[in-house]
Amino acid sequence: KSGTNEFHGEAFYYNRNNRNGARNPRAFNSVLINGVSTLVPAKPKDLRERFGGAIGGPIAKDKLFFFFSYDQQKRNFPGLGVFSNPNFLNTANRTLLTGRGLTNAQIDSTLAFLNSLTGETPRSGDQTLFFPKIDWIINDKNSFAISYNRLRWESPNGIQTQAVNTRSRSNFGDDFVEVDSVNGRLSSSISSSILNEFRFQWGRDLEYQFSTPPLPGEPTTSNTQVGGVRSPNVFITNGLEFGTPTFLERPKFPDETRWQFANTTTVTRGRHNIKFGADINRVEDDIANLRFEAGAYSYNNINDFIIDYVNYVTPLPGATVCATGTRTVGRCYTSNYQQGIGSPGLVMKSWDYNFFMQDDFRVTPRLTVNLGLRYEYISLPEAVLPNSSTVVIPNDGRTLAEATSSIPSDNDNFGPRIGLAYDIFGDGRTSVRAGYGIYFGRIQNSTAYNALVNTGNPGGQFQVQVAATAANSPIFPQVLSPSQLTAAGGAVVFFADNFEAPKIHQYDVILEHQLARNTVVSVSYIGSLGRNLPTFIDKNFVRTGQTNYSFVGGPLDGRTFTLPLYGRVPGAGTQAMTSIESTITSQYDAFVFKAERRFTNSLQFSASYTLSRSIDNNQNSATFTQTNSPYDIFDGSYDQGFSNFDTRHRIVASAVWAPNFYKGSRSSIGNYVLNGWSLAPILNYFSGRPFSATISGTSLNGTNGGNWNPILGRNSERLPALTNIDLRLSKRFRFTETMSIEFLAEAFNLLNKTHIFSTNSTQYNRSGTTGTLNYNASYGQVTGTDSTLFRERQVQFAARFQF
């Protein structure tokens, strides 16, 4: 927005209070009565107030203008920690536990501790935005604009924003953001056929997140460099996560400074409209984040955790056997213990170079062809902490020193684009448009960061994993000392020598026809092919044999299957060697049917139906890196399946109806009462997205990669469909031609449909290290009924004044 020769502005206030809305269907408090958990409905407060305004006008008539806007949002929305399975505490097996030597009092005390972790925790958010801008008409041929954008966000316990979370009250984390940017633009008319625009941006983005102190009863056996005394992270399947989140602390995540310069020149020559330009972007990231700094334990059942926790409070005999397997007390955790150590981070710099040329060619009055070419090059940081080891990386061929000494350069990213638009009959009512282009994705700085800092160099970071059965495994809830971590070694992350930037082929064909004035219908085909998408593969494995598994209970009861079994390569160490590779492919195909009517005779609408399919071989959307993504690093067939975001059917419809009931004088009472009303509904329907039925516990094939049920395959299951209706009713009172006030009432999820975004995906639990897979009775239970876009019914009231 910009100022003009007249003063214009607005002021607004929005109020969204869940006192006027519905209760989240998963919002319960757990109450223990005689050792039995009882659920009590809960509805924590959620008050969101947004207010602000804008004003613009002249500083010097026809020459200099200003614009300023201010926007603030304050939210008080206590978080609610719950168990993934509402009856989680009641799954404790007292017969088994007392048979291990525990007393009922010890069991009850541990259940009470777990229950104390749930419930409400204070959570708030305060965001401010202000935006001043100056526009300067230098002369008839040149104009200049400069603006400053400032954002501040403070949210104690606000990292987790959902209404209900399967985390303890101490596991939410504090969130802070500070963003400042200055943007400049110089527009010049060089001649009647040549225009030029130069843009400049300086920006700083500082984001930081911290853990909160432990709750009573949480083990205080760990610490972080920023937070001090902390509890290690503990995750319990079907229960919750407590302690220090594995991704914290983040004192700089990132502290990023950006300098960007861009120039676009437009030349008109006859039937050609040619554009060419460049965009140069320099980014400096100061990142401080040591994952798993406080250590992390994982249990796939409540009974193993109870044994370890009781042992922490009152030591049990050392020979006490865990609830599953043959492990002994203190080491009943069912996945590898993880802990990070080393430098908190580093400073990295990158350059993005982008150049483009485009020609919009009007071949005939009915045919326009668009031709373009774009070149992109990303100059990633140089390696600063290479590993000096001459150990050869298995299944790679390079030494650790070679692999960690450089980051590959991808310098052949040429993206051609072509498009056409054709007026089929020459009357402007029926047209066909088609296009094809190659687009490149950016190599994330967070991915490069892990390859720079997790090299095995003593000056970097180490992410250590230790099996519960290892001689150096810790006794819960202790953490490993620095000397033990150094001895254990850490995972190494590096780029494959043939790594390339993600590449997308996009194409579409659209047939559009005008049915009536301002009303058009269209049918289109849209497709894309993803190539060179990133994945993360632990190379340090060799096949050691095979193993058999059998299902007990559930839909697969009695079925058996055989998997290859893998172990660490002799002589290569016991830790992961993760290669960042670009071997993932994807395919998306969609047919879209659409009807649109621009505002005519008090009505406008838009409606579309999309039939689509998206498949890939385990596309990874993670920031930073994962240790090992595929199910089997030697057999990619396990990874084939539907994409995580595959949505087969999608219907979106919206309308605005603003009738003028009263046809008399605009100054009459009839006009004020009967006119100025607007009704705007929005309908969304999405078929259910896929998810994988998983098997918890020790990795089935020894690779600690994908954990979905190999009999069913990846993303073989579907969530329920989502149907959502929003509605806005507004009334505008116009005082003069340029001054009005509007009152609004909005209902989101008007019918209060329960939207299911996640369910308990653990279908079977592995019993220790045996081949028995026991059915999880909690499989399919709803674990998430809200997202950032859709929740239980919410009602919002607002007022907007414009002049």
Give 184-207 as a DSSP string: EEEEEEEETTEEEEEEEEEEEEEE
Residue pair 74/126 in contact by the 8 Å Cβ criterion:
yes
Kindly tell me if the per-residue pLDDT of 209 is higher than 80.
Answer: yes
Q: What is the mean pLDDT of residues 795-801?
A: 98
Between CA 752 and CA 21 the distance in angstroms is 9
At residue 524, the pLDDT reads: 98
366: left (phi over 0), alpha (psi -120 to 50) or beta: alpha
Q: Which of 124, 392, 85 is nearest to 236 (CA)?
A: 85
Residue range 3-27, pLDDT digits in tens: 899 999 999 999 999 999 999 999 9
Query: Is beta strand 577-600 parallel, antiparallel or unpaired with respect to 492-495?
Result: parallel
* Residues 408-431, mean pLDDT to the nearest whole number: 95
pTM for this model (two decimals): 0.90
What confidence category does residue 489 fall into, taking pLDDT thresholds of 50, 70 and 90?
low
Of residues 503 and 408, more confidence is placed in: 503
Instruction: Please check the confidence at residue 408 and state whether its pLDDT lies above 90.
Output: no
- Interval 615-671: pLDDT, tens: 999 998 877 889 999 999 999 999 999 999 999 999 999 999 999 988 888 778 888
pLDDT above 70 covers a percentage of the chain that reads 100
342-381 pLDDT per residue, tens: 888 899 999 999 999 999 999 999 999 999 999 999 998 9
Distance in Å from the first CA to the final CA of the chain: 15
Residue 114: which H helix or E strand, with range? helix 104-116
Q: What CA–CA distance (Å, rounded) separates 383 from 405?
A: 6
**Once rounded to an integer, what is the mean pLDDT over residues 683-690?**
97
Residues in the chain: 803
Query: What pLDDT is attached to residue 488?
Result: 62
Q: 170 - beta bridge partners?
A: none
Q: Which two tokens stand for residue 343?
A: 């430098």
Bridge partners (DSSP) listed for residue 419: 370, 435
Q: How many CA atoms lie within 13 A of 25 on its CB side?
A: 15
Contacts of 676 (CB under 8 A, 6+ apart): 731, 732, 733, 734
C-alpha closest to that of 175 among 213, 121, 212, 150? 212
- Which region, left, alpha or beta, applies to residue 599 given φ > 0 means left and ψ of -120 to 50 means alpha? beta
Query: Which residues are bridge partners to 680 per DSSP?
Result: 728
Residue with tokens 């408090």: 29
pLDDT-derived band of residue 487, with 50, 70 and 90 as boundaries? Answer: low
d(CA 444, CA 632): 25
Pairing of strands 413-423, 367-379: antiparallel
Please spell the DSSP secondary structure of 324-340, one letter per residue: SSS-BTT---SS-EEEE
- Gap between the Cα atoms of 595 and 653, Å rounded: 9
State the sign of the Cα–Cα–Cα–Cα dihedral 24, 29, 30, 32: negative
What pLDDT does residue 151 have?
99
Write phi, then psi, for 767 (nearest 5 degrees).
Answer: -85, 100
Q: Is the pLDDT of residue 486 over 90?
A: no
pLDDT at 605: 97
Nearest CA among 348, 339, 312 for reference residue 224: 339
Structure token digits, residue 621: 């959307």
Cβ 277 vs Cβ 354: under 8 Å: no
**Residue-level pLDDT at 573:** 87
Q: How far is CA 250 from the centre of its chain?
A: 17
Q: Read off the pLDDT band of 446 (50, 70, 90).
A: confident
* Contact between residue 746 and residue 709 where contact means Cβ atoms under 8 Å apart: no
Say if residue 803's pLDDT is above 90: yes
